[in-house]
Amino acid sequence: MNSTHFTISIPAFCRSIRLLYSLTAVMLLAFSCSNDNRKMATTNSDSNIIKTDTNKTAEGSLPRPANPPSNFRHQTTNVNGINIHYVIGGTGEPLLLLHGFGQNWFMWNRLLPELSKHFTVIAPDLPGVGESDKPEKGYDKKTMAAHIHDLVNKLGYQKINLAGHDIGLMVAYAYAVQYQNEVKKLALMDALVPGIEPVWSNVHAFAWWFGFFAWPASGELVKGKENLFLTNFWPQVGHVQNAFTKEETDEFIRAYSVNGATTGSFNWFGAFSQDVKDNLAFAKHKLTIPVLAMGGEFAGNYMPDHIKLVAQNVKGVIIKNSGHWVVQENTEQTGAALLSFFAQ
């Protein structure tokens, strides 16, 4: 294995340091604006689920959620006491798409028209963000994968194609390991599997946000400042400037402005210590299904070698001129790579 694949670039590190200064300002602003009228999201004592009013924040009304292409529809299904929102459309074999941090189901919207010509596409909001519920616990990826698996079963599918980006990669990997006989093909896109070395330690050493997001107070500090936070965060791990459209920017900010969404999504990172334990156990038995390992040229270019540590049948692809946000930064190559992999 070429060790240079795991080298963290100095520019990326510097961008992260700059974001740290920006985030410090956000934290100070959040403290200065805090008052007794800002209340924690209410919790149902029976189900321990933060009940989401999808049109409200602590500060007022939100825009309506974005719509998918006309051949898709919004749906919500209750799974293990948790409401999971998703969009579904198309015809053919099921293809489940899992988003990551800083985005919601709408990250896939550019790809849905073409993918839906070949597959029945299901794109959920992960528990913790957007129109899905925000449980108090259960954010380890093993548990999140189990919830998504139960959603798939409720939809009547026994075997699926599966893709995940960022946090969605981690959930997708946990899904495939636990239910390998129910996954036809798996695409893992620009992130990492927590606990798998040397990438885990290399990234963890400079990705300061892993620690900040895992801090229990972080969600409350960012709440109400989602626009400022996300618009400063996205460029730090991207390469192409202004890669998101206005519609995408507005929808992502809206999804993280829903009551409980900052705390819920940050809990994905708070569960990393448990994910490490689970993944070290999972990795003792490599995946045998076909796996596509996709990384941005200026971000997760280590992906092919990294995923070969947990899977036997790996096809690697590097998305040219792209950072972390591969769908937005190079839509054409990313869409073509996914379609070629899943359709062949």
d(CA 297, CA 69): 29
Per-residue confidence (pLDDT) for residue 60, from 0 to 100: 60
Torsion angles phi and psi, residue 123, rounded to 5: -130, 100
Non-local (6+) Cβ contacts of 282 within 8 A are: 173, 174, 177, 310
Q: Exposed e or buried b for every residue in 111-139, given b needs 16+ CB within 10 A? A: bbbebbebbbbbbbbbbbbbbbbbbeebb
d(CA 125, CA 116): 18
CB neighbours (10 Å) of residue 1?
11
Per-residue confidence (pLDDT) for residue 61, from 0 to 100: 83
Q: Is 6 exposed, middle or buried (0-12, 13-18, 19+ CB in 10 A)?
A: middle
Sign of the dihedral defined by the CA atoms of residues 105, 99, 174, 43, in that order = negative
Closest to 76 measured CA to CA, from 52, 48, 101: 52
Q: Under DSSP, is residue 315 helix (H, G, I), strand (E, B) or coil?
A: strand
Contact 90, 120 (CB under 8 A): yes
Q: Which two three-digit tokens encode residue 245?
A: 């459209």
Q: Which two three-digit tokens encode residue 10?
A: 């100095």
The pLDDT tens digits along the chain (344 residues) read: 333 343 434 344 344 444 444 444 444 444 434 433 333 333 333 333 334 444 454 446 889 999 999 999 999 999 999 999 999 999 999 999 999 999 999 999 999 999 999 999 999 999 999 999 999 999 999 999 999 999 999 999 999 999 999 999 999 999 999 999 999 999 999 999 999 999 999 999 999 999 999 999 999 999 999 999 999 999 999 999 999 999 999 999 999 999 999 999 999 999 999 999 999 999 999 999 999 999 999 999 999 999 999 999 999 999 999 999 999 999 999 999 999 999 98
pTM: 0.86
Per-residue confidence (pLDDT) for residue 22, from 0 to 100: 44
Q: Measured between alpha carbons, how far is residue 226 from residues 57, 63, 158, 223, 334 in Å? A: 11, 14, 38, 6, 27
264, 265, 269, 273: CA torsion to nearest 10 = 40
How would CATH label the architecture of 9-23+49-343?
A: 3-Layer(aba) Sandwich (3.40)
DSSP letters, 160-214, are EEEEEETHHHHHHHHHHHHTGGGEEEEEEESS--TT-TTHHHHHHHH-HHHHHHH
Residues forming a β-bridge with 333: none
CB neighbours (10 Å) of residue 65?
21
Q: Count the alpha carbons within 13 Å of 46 in the hemisphere toward its beta carbon.
A: 2
d(CA 203, CA 102): 18
